[in-house]
Each structure stands twice: as C-alpha cells, then as structure tokens.
Amino acid sequence: MELPKPSGNLPELRVSTRVPTLRGVAILALHSAPLLSAHPAVAQRGGRDAVSVLARAEQSEVRPGDLISIAVALEHAQGYHTWPHHPVVPPELGGLRPIATSITISALPEGLTLEEIAWPDPVPVTVRYTGAPLSLLSYAGTVVARVRLRIAPDHPPGPTGLELRVRYQACDDLLCYRPQTVTRAVRFRVMTPRPPREHAGGHRLRTRKTRATSSDLDR
C-alpha cells in the first residue's frame, strides 16, 4: 500500500530504513510497533515467503471448442493476508491506495481466448494499522482464483500452455510489505476434435425418409 497523506486522525508513520523498498512503495512501521523489534523474522524475509502461489490446469486434456479452467491458488502463511482483487478501504484508512491482487497472461497463445477470471470472496481480518483493531476485507488462508479460457474450434492437436503473472502485496496485522510478482507456467494438451455422433453399431446416425401410401393412410 502507498503512504497516505498526513491526517489528524491517523498516527504518525515512519519508513523503515532497514528494509529495501520499491520505487513509490514504502514498507511502513508504526511508532507503537517498530518493525525490527516486533517482527525480526518477517524483516529478514520482507514478506516474500508470506504467500505461496500455485497454478495448474484443472483439465489435463481438452478438445477444440472446449472451455478450460486454470486454478491459481494463493496459500498465505499464518498471520498474513493480501489485498483482494477489488479492495475496499475502510473510512478509518481514508487516502490509502492499496495494491490489488491481479493475474495477467504474459502472452496469450494463438487459438486461446480469455473468457473470464473468477475471483474468490475476501474474508475479514483484524489489523492495527491505526493502533486500534480494525476489520479489513482480505484474502487469507488458501484462496483460489480461476482463469477460464476457450479453445478455438480449429485449434490443432498437441501440447500447449501459457504463463501467468500473479501480483500481490502481503500484509500482517501491523504493516504491509513491498509487492511481489511471480510467474507460473501451465501446460495442457489439446486433443483431436470429437468424431461425429455414432450409434452403438459404430455407424453415423441417418434418417430414412419413406413415402406414405394410400394403404398407410387408410389404417
């Protein structure tokens, strides 16, 4: 999250000089809870190990015209959370600009079309960014987003895949760390198109037209 403009309602914040920062993103520590004394292990990790990101295709084999779903799981270590894809900033943190969790496709392969990304619902967690307990909607525990793609009807058979870029910002109850971006490769196989519909004898279904005779009409 970015440093909000000073407000009389918020405690004074300071930037830690012991932990590296990215341009325009500060790692903040409250005066009431110095970073190094309260969280020495986290200071060493810088939040990098707070979240594990896994991605896999939920169908290993698909056919042309099918819809494929790729599950992207964010596994949060105990005591950590990330901003959801659609952050909601409480009034008490007015002026805060959170860094939303996002998923992008590095280069969408030909023959695949992005249909949607289904995001999980956030859950409330308790933070103390102002010194007092505050409920904040976040991703915590293990959450799964699903990237849904359509396979083109004329997609050739064979192995294919894509790369996903996942960006998130890990936080604990006292501060947020610099955002991380990880890349995950996902592979799956496109099979040959489905054959025409057949009946039990292995022949294509055909309809036979017959001409009604006068005797048939008299029955």
- Number of helices (H), then strands (E), belonging to the chain: the values are 3, 14
Terminal CA-CA length for the chain: 84
Q: Which among 78, 166, 80, 72 is positioned nearest to 120, based on CA atoms?
A: 72
How would you classify the pairing of strands 142-151 and 67-76? antiparallel
pLDDT digits (tens), the chain, 219 positions: 544 444 444 333 333 333 333 223 333 332 233 322 233 333 335 567 899 999 999 999 999 999 999 999 999 999 999 999 999 999 998 888 899 999 999 889 999 999 999 999 999 999 999 899 999 999 999 999 999 999 999 999 999 999 999 999 999 999 999 999 999 999 999 999 877 765 545 555 554 554 554 454 454
Architecture of the domain spanning 13-193: Sandwich (2.60)
Question: Do residues 120 and 144 lie in contact, with contact meaning Cβ atoms separated by under 8 Å?
Answer: yes
Residue with tokens 């009034």: 91
Cα distances (angstroms) measured from residue 5 to each of 13, 29, 33, 61, 219:
10, 16, 20, 51, 92
Q: Within the chain, where are the H helices? A: 35-38, 40-45, 214-218
Run of H or E residues at 155: none
Residue 215: how many CB atoms within 10 A of its CB?
7
CA distance 117 to 108: 14
Q: Which among 59, 60, 67, 64 is positioned nearest to 194, based on CA atoms?
A: 64
Q: Is the dihedral of CA 113, 115, 121, 127 positive or negative?
A: positive
Per-domain boundaries in the chain: 13-193
Q: Which among 165, 206, 147, 160 is positioned nearest to 187, based on CA atoms?
A: 160
The letter for the amino acid at 12 is: E
Residue 122: how many CB atoms within 10 A of its CB?
21
